[in-house]
Amino acid sequence: MLTNDQLAKWDRESFLHPSTHLAQHARGEAPGRIIKSAEGCFVTDRDGNRLLDAFAGLYCVNIGYGRKEVAEAIAEQAHELAYYHAYVGHGTEASITLAHMVMERAPAHMSKVYFGLGGSDANETNIKLVWYMNNILGRPGKKKIISRWRAYHGSGLMSGSLTGLSLFHQKFDLPFDTVRHTTSPYWFRRDDLGLTEEQFSAKCAADLEELIEAEGADTIAAFIAEPMLGTGGIVPPPRGYWEAIEPILQKSDILLIADEVVTGFGRLGTMFGSTHYGITPDIMTIAKGLTSAYAPLSGTIVSDKVWKVLEQGTDEFGPLGHGWTYSAHPIGAAAGVANLKLLDTMNLVANAGDVGPYLTRTMAEALADHPNMGEVRGEGMLTAVELVEDREARVFFDPARKVVPQIVAAMGRRGVIARAMPQGDIIGYAPPLCLSREEADTVVSATADAIREVLG
């Protein structure tokens, strides 16, 4: 067996990691963990440390690690048929079954699902379909996409443009000029501290209306949004937000793309974020929880309204010129089928709706008296702790102090993995949906102790 030192050396010499400080990593100044195995909510690294993974990888291992049913489904699929493509109407039992299972769970007005590989490529597909649709409908000028600051929709060219976090734009010549960003529905970070949640939702809606007016509704094709902000800070929408936004889109004939990559398949304690917040998207992006990351797979779910135009388009112009070699890959599809069955049989959506709020509530109680606790917020199995330098005046820490990265490192030493969210001093939690109350208690005490270690 390779020694850890050998692996670490090869890693520094050969591996260009995603979302990593490349220079520090290559110099050995910021080694990541090398993970060896995992079971339930726990991962074990090559040094033998067992850690409670309170971020489920990258909020994707919804059913928890080590589920034999999924591993066996993958193995059987690999033995019987490791690959066949889905072009020109081809399919496999796994891909057709998964399409059926996804549509059984999707809101009633949705029609079909296209399968890709990850959330970023699914969002690329979405925008291409929206552009295709408006060309078929004879409105080639209606192409701009409105996204929101602090959104995360991936890091491809278009998906990275849709993302509203500066790290994903700077030095990449993004965003594209077909993309506009509007106000982030982030009440805690509102400029005017006097606004209530409802007033702030009204402001978000007014800002959106103003943007549409300035650009011209006839130039805007779609609005894309996570039902609840994820990577931008794990922020539930302020009260009244979606109720104020949807009518504005409908009035201007702007499609709604709900990016459910994080919220899909149970994370909010409901099957989808759209149903959770009562919104009616035209397109939904799915990934992560679709297979619980046992194999890469994503999807674009289109509504009846979108589907009808796609049908019309191919009748007029021939086959859809869009697809990947690995679209609907049978191994991903087999993983997806086994995963969705487990999500049901283990009753994980309900568990997310029970243990998630328990985690948020007990976290809020444990940190209530800490002078640097700005806000504890959450929905279902998504929780965030936002820390501030001055609670009364809501003064944020200087990012150079790296307060939350230090806290997350201190939590790691206590056996719990949380995520330092990329923009702001925010600790993020998105555990597997099978988290128990006892495991939630462990997460809370590791957080409280680590905050005390770093901030006093």
Give the residues lining the site for ligand PLP (CB under 6 A).
58, 118-120, 123, 152-154, 226, 230-231, 259, 261-262, 287
Residue of minimal Cβ distance to ligand PLP: 119
Q: In angstroms, how far apart are the furthest CA atoms of the chain? A: 67
451, burial (CB in 10 Å: exposed 0-12, middle 13-18, buried 19+): buried
Question: Of 57 and 269, which has the nearer Cβ to ligand PLP?
Answer: 57
Token output for 29:
């100044």
The helix/strand/coil state of 342 is helix
What pairing do the DSSP bridges indicate for beta strands 416-417 and 50-53? parallel
Specify whether the CB–CB gap between 110 and 302 falls below 8 A.
yes
Region at 446 (left for phi over 0; alpha for psi -120 to 50; beta for the rest): alpha
CB of 382 to ligand PLP, least distance (A): 11
Helix-strand-coil split of the chain, %, nearest 5:
45, 15, 40
Nearer to ligand PLP, 313 or 378 (CB): 378
Amino acid at 11: D
Q: Which helix (H) or strand (E) holds 225?
A: strand 220-225
Q: Which is nearer to ligand PLP, 266 or 313 (CB)?
A: 266
Residue 368 CB, shortest distance to ligand PLP, in Å, is 29
CB nearer to ligand PLP: pick between 149 and 397: 149
Contact call for residues 38 and 65 (beta carbons, < 8 A):
yes
CB of 434 to ligand PLP, least distance (A): 20
Tell me how far, at minimum, the Cβ of 285 lies from ligand PLP, in Å: 6
Nearer to ligand PLP, 259 or 388 (CB): 259
Q: Look at the chain and count its residues.
A: 456
Q: Distance (Å, rounded) from C-alpha 336 to C-alpha 350?
A: 19
Nearest CB to ligand PLP, comparing residues 95 and 126: 126
Min separation Cβ 213 and ligand PLP, Å: 28
Q: How far apart are CA 151 and CA 149, in angstroms?
A: 5
- Give the tokens for residue 224: 């894309």
CB of 61 to ligand PLP, least distance (A): 13
Q: Which is nearer to ligand PLP, 259 or 439 (CB)?
A: 259
The nearer residue to ligand PLP, 77 or 291, going by C-beta atoms, is: 291
d(CA 226, CA 303): 17
**Residue 352 CB, nearest approach to ligand PLP (Å):** 17
Q: Give, to the nearest 10 degrees, the angle between helix 330-345 and helix 93-105.
A: 40
Cα 412 to chain centroid, rounded = 23
Task: Answer yes or no: are the C-beta atoms of 295 and 95 closer than 8 Å.
Answer: no
Cβ closest to ligand PLP, residue 224 vs residue 450: 224
CB of 152 to ligand PLP, least distance (A): 5
Q: Which is nearer to ligand PLP, 285 or 372 (CB)?
A: 285
Token pair, residue 238, equals: 């302020």
Provide, rounded to whole angstroms, the least separation between the CB of residue 259 and ligand PLP: 4
Closest distance of CB 417 from ligand PLP, Å: 16
The helix/strand/coil state of 314 is helix
Say whether 273 sits in a helix, a strand or coil: helix
